[in-house]
């Protein structure tokens, strides 16, 4: 499942989370005034391993979100930062910066349109992090993930701040949904299951591996696997339709990002954890790839490779790779579009 030696300089490992050393962990949420950001911030408020929570948004409403959370007893101290001039203060000294800000996906929106809309705030954040917190873990949930992470990587490289082991595209929503669907199909508790989802994060590139459900002993037949795969790939669109086309998934996104964050906080504290993420990964013939990865205190330790797949899953993966490569190239090349526009979004 995992390819060791992807990060050979990192050899520290501790799977016993009970013995990890609790450190000061400050987290920044970029886009905290939106529905995903505010719901995520509330969930993070209940994580006692986080000592300080920085909430940032261009919308002044973020101050009200922070004030509400400050009135909840316990948990991390909360501070609000509104306006671009305060972004450096919002990210400075944070161990993990979570980018959840985005223009919501609407019915009929193309991935090119989403990239054009969401690239500018990513550029601003990358430039700010390069100047004020280059050692931070940076995790992005902004769509289109397949292109945004290569876009961010290229930007950070141009700012001499690219660390492939600390940049994550959060695709935890895919495995969260897969677990929910499998749990419902098998009538078991989905929170006790792990379902790897590999490939990318789009209708054409999501590849759930229902043949790799953990713990073992659970079986999804071929017809049901095909049905669940189609359902997983269309889950985002289904939410938009049922929200009358006005917004995309927010609560499930916040929940899955919170689960991702809780694991990363444990990693920062010294444990080795597994999360589903879209990261630099050359093992499938693409420069970036999504799947379960192992993370430690210094970043990614192992990326996924060599899954045992059935014929159906293998064919899905082969069809997804050209699409994934196209999306990656599009994101990398969009840096030139942004730079040639003459605008500096920082």
Q: State whether the Cα torsion 325-331-333-334 is positive or negative.
A: positive
One of 54, 57, 172, 201 is an active-site residue; which one?
201
d(CA 194, CA 172): 11
Judge whether 70 and 97 are in contact, CB under 8 Å. no
Judge whether 310 and 212 are in contact, CB under 8 Å. no
Backbone angles phi, psi at 9, to 5 degrees: -75, -15
Q: What is the CA radius of gyration of the chain?
A: 19
Concatenate the DSSP letters of all residues of 37-78 into one string. Answer: HHHHHHHHTT-TT--EEEEEESSTTHHHHHHHHHTS-SSSEE
Instruction: Reply yes or no: is the peptide bond before residue 141 cis, omega within 30 of 0.
Output: no
132 catalytic per annotation: no
One of 174, 203, 327, 344 is an active-site residue; which one?
174
174 catalytic per annotation: yes
What are the angstrom distances between the C-alpha of 286 and each of 66, 195, 342?
A: 40, 22, 31
d(CA 84, CA 292): 34
Strand, helix or coil for residue 31: coil
Burial 285-318 (b: 16+ CB within 10 A, else e): ebbbbbbbbbbbbbbbbbbbbebebeeebeebbe
Residue with tokens 């950001």: 37
List of residues 6+ apart from 5 with CB closer than 8 A: none
Count other C-beta atoms under 10 Å from residue 49's C-beta: 15
Residue from 123, 149, 126 nearest 136 by CA: 126
d(CA 75, CA 72): 8
Known catalytic residues?
174, 201
């Amino acid at each position: 499942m995992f390819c060791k030696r992807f990060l050979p300089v990192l050899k520290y490992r501790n799977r016993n989370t009970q013995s990890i050393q609790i450190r000061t962990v400050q987290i920044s949420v970029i886009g905290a005034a939106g529905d995903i950001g505010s719901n995520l911030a509330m969930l993070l408020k209940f994580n006692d391993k986080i000592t300080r929570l920085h909430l940032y948004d261009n919308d002044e409403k973020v101050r009200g979100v922070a004030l509400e959370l400050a009135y909840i007893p316990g948990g991390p101290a909360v501070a609000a930062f509104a306006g671009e001039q305060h972004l450096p203060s919002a990210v400075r000294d944070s161990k993990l910066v979570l980018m959840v800000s985005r223009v919501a996906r609407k019915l009929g929106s193309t991935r090119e349109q989403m990239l054009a809309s969401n690239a500018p705030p990513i550029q601003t954040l990358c430039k700010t992090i390069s100047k004020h917190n280059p050692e931070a873990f940076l995790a992005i949930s902004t769509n289109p993930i397949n292109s945004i992470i290569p876009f961010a990587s290229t930007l950070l490289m141009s700012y001499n701040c690219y660390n492939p082991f600390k940049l994550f595209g959060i695709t935890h929503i895919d495995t969260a949904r897969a677990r929910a669907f499998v749990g419902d199909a098998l009538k078991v508790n989905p929170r006790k299951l792990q379902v790897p989802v590999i490939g990318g994060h789009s209708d054409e590139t999501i590849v759930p591996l229902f043949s790799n459900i953990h713990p073992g002993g659970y079986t999804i037949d071929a017809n049901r696997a095909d049905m669940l795969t189609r359902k997983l790939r269309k889950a985002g669109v289904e939410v938009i339709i049922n929200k009358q086309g006005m917004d995309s998934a927010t609560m499930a996104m916040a929940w899955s990002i919170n689960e991702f964050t809780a694991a990363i906080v444990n990693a920062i504290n010294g444990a080795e954890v597994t999360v589903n993420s879209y990261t630099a990964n050359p093992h499938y013939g693409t420069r970036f790839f999504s799947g379960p990865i192992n993370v430690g205190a210094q970043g990614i330790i192992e990326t996924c490779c060599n899954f045992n797949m059935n014929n159906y899953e293998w064919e899905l993966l082969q069809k997804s790779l050209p699409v994934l490569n196209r999306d990656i190239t599009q994101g990398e090349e969009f840096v030139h579009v942004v730079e040639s526009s003459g605008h500096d979004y920082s």
